[in-house]
Amino acid sequence: MNAMTALLTRRTALAAIAGVIVARNASATPEQTKEWLSTAAKGTPREGKVTLKAPEIAENGNAVPVTVSVESEMTAKSYVKAVYIAADGNPNPGVATYEFTPMSGKAEVQLRVRLAQTQKLVVVAEMNDGTLYTASREIKVTIGGCGG
């Protein structure tokens, strides 16, 4: 074996080892999503106040339009402190975190989310008093618009 072959073999071996070290699940599990949300927002969320608008079926998973709004007075006495958005089929469950103040005027965000497969989006809104509200929606991502 010559020096060039040994070098390529060593590089190949190091690349394989690096791949094993960096390897992780291709998608988060619902449990990982719950864990991420519970780390971000302490407590048990309840249904209500949060509206999550997203298509039921997304023909292009690269840019799924999502709108999240939270009913709130947005006054110094009562306002939305933060909104946490998670997806249970993405490699990392945390999609986005938005923070608000009473000066925000309205607790609403619009974004485009990349979804590789059919999965559930979960939103948790944290109020300034620590109360949590949630909403979720399953979005079916089609492959090339042909169902899936």
State the pTM of this model: 0.77
Sheet holding 107-113, edge to edge: 50-53, 64-70, 107-113
Q: Which long-range contacts (CB under 8 A, 24 or more apart) does 91-99 make?
A: 91/24, 91/25, 91/26, 91/27, 91/28, 92/28, 93/28, 93/32, 93/33, 93/35, 93/36, 93/37, 94/36, 94/40, 95/121, 97/40
pLDDT for residue 138: 95
137 pLDDT more than 50: yes
| pLDDT band at 3; cut points 50, 70, 90 | low
For 9-68, the pLDDT digits (tens) are 666 655 655 554 444 456 778 888 888 888 888 899 999 999 999 999 998 889 999 999
Query: Which helix (DSSP H) or strand (DSSP E) does residue 42 occupy?
Result: none
For 80-136, the pLDDT digits (tens) are 999 999 998 888 889 999 999 999 999 999 999 998 889 999 999 999 999 999 999
Please provide the CATH number assigned to the domain covering 26-141.
2.60.40.2470
Annotated domain spans of the chain = 26-141
